Structure 1
Amino acid sequence: MRTTTEAAARRHSKLLIIGSGPAGYTAAIYASRSALAPMLIEGLQPGGQLTITTEVENWPGDTRVQGPDLMARMGEHARQLGTEIIQDYIVEVDLSRRPFVAVGDGGARYTADSLVIATGANARWLGLDSERLYRGKGVSACATCDGYFFRQRVVAVVGGGNTAVEDALHMAHFASEVYLIHRRDSLRADKTNQARLLANEKIRPIWNTEVAEVLGDGKKVTGLCLKQRLSGESSTLPVDGLFVAIGHDPATSLFKGQLAMDEDGYLLVTPGSTATSVAGVFAAGDVQDKHFRQAVVSAGMGCMAALEAERFLINTQAGASQAE
């Protein structure tokens, strides 16, 4: 009996979707409803970043839902409509000509007339074992996703750029007290954000300091072990939550040299569209969105990408017919 990957070897589709988060699954749903019979390659983390998120309270229609459950429902929705979901990881692409070619980790080759890239972005973490232990138990990389759970609690935000400052300001709406921990003595954020942060009585900056360890009782975060960079002195800071805001890395290394990107590696698209620099290739979700990084925004982009891919295929087919 052949494996899923073997069965997919040298497979062709009108639309290939790389990535399986909200953007990828939504693109698959819309493409299936348009009778494009899409194939979707799940990648290393089927369901994307929401599979490591516990409770989600900002998904329309669900007062509260577990992230993994939401992704499972979206995947099943796409499958029921006819999307072929393949367990594989793309390691190579050729976008220089059509049909586009994508090569899986096991050597399977997928060709497609159009392509939706929904590979997402990964939050940068501090790299601590204790940080990994308490992810989803008080440690988060998304203040706008999880801030609501820390109403009237004490929290800390790590970072010194705009994201960190904006996260601290956002958390000040919910938390009783917010500590902004930065390894330097000044912020990289723009002056307007800095002024807002320094004027907020709930926010207390802690300069020249690093988080050495996340403390907890096994079930939740209870504090942080801090290290002062100049003196080397250690101290303990009692907090209920830690938000890591040191940036994201878009999963775009696969497309370097083939698609236009900004200085941070995010795919560039036509304003108001998901179209990339290569005709027939569309980008949806965090792979091109460095500002919002919300599941509902990614889903909307997935819808756009599928509809634009359908339009591209119709126009391409019409052009070919006229040429004949």
Structure 2
Amino acid sequence: MLEGTIIKGIGGFYYVKVDDTVYECRARGLFRKSKITPLIGDRVLIKINKEDNTGYVEQILDRITELKRPPVSNVNQAVIVFAVQKPDPNLWLLDRFLLLASYQKLDVIICINKSDLDLDGKADEIYDVYNKAGYRIIKTSCKTKEGIEEIRNLLKKKITVFAGPSGVGKSTLLNNIQANLKLQTGDISQKTSRGKHTTRHVELIELDLGGWVLDTPGFSTLDIDFLEEEELENFFIEISEKSTLCRFSGCCHNKELGCAVKEAVDNGEISKSRYDNYLSMLQEIKEIRRY
């Protein structure tokens, strides 16, 4: 059997790259019986049919990481892309992306794209909030080329997922990072002011500089039903750090007295938008657990 990587999956077919050759494969029925679905990024063993050079996925090797949405495996880095405008940044959604990436123990880079459209300093405001929270942020523009080389250097020898809402410029960024990718790009819908979906499937793309990237379809929600209330603060870096100073152990930083987190919000040490998003997610988890 040959060992390779699933780089694309469409309509029940999996495209497995082995060295410089890509084989079209089906998955064995045993995966369906075991309710296991091969994922993009999986390292697999395949058996080749010499008559037509197609194959079957016989075994999925152990996964290092696994994301549910987008459904990919073995990623070790996430570039979360949001635009300064067109569409306007949704920080509530950004915080959910950050939570999921942290839960999967991925290295995270926040990319504030379309910086050439920033006429009112919005990019700097977002930068300050998330830099203070402990994240790495890069401002990029495909028109001025700001930040492109910095992003490119961070992709070397990594498997990186590019995630974010539709229309923020993920595919355009990747086309600027490597010109021969020629990924389909789209404009913003004039009717909804939202991005039009241009990426139709998840695909692992090999880079000339060494490394792989995943350009994923845009999406607008991330479930957090896997979390317990007391776990949530662990995925808000600045809240977790301040929580050690709370008067009572088990403080949820909501209505408790002597809460160091609420005090930090009041004096500007913690962003109110981040805190509000934390409270929103906390309430969501409580509602989930209630039922």
Which TM-score applies when normalising by structure 2? Answer: 0.28
**Higher RCO, 1 or 2 (CA under 8 Å, sep at least 6)?**
1
What TM-score comes out, normalization by structure 1 length?
0.26
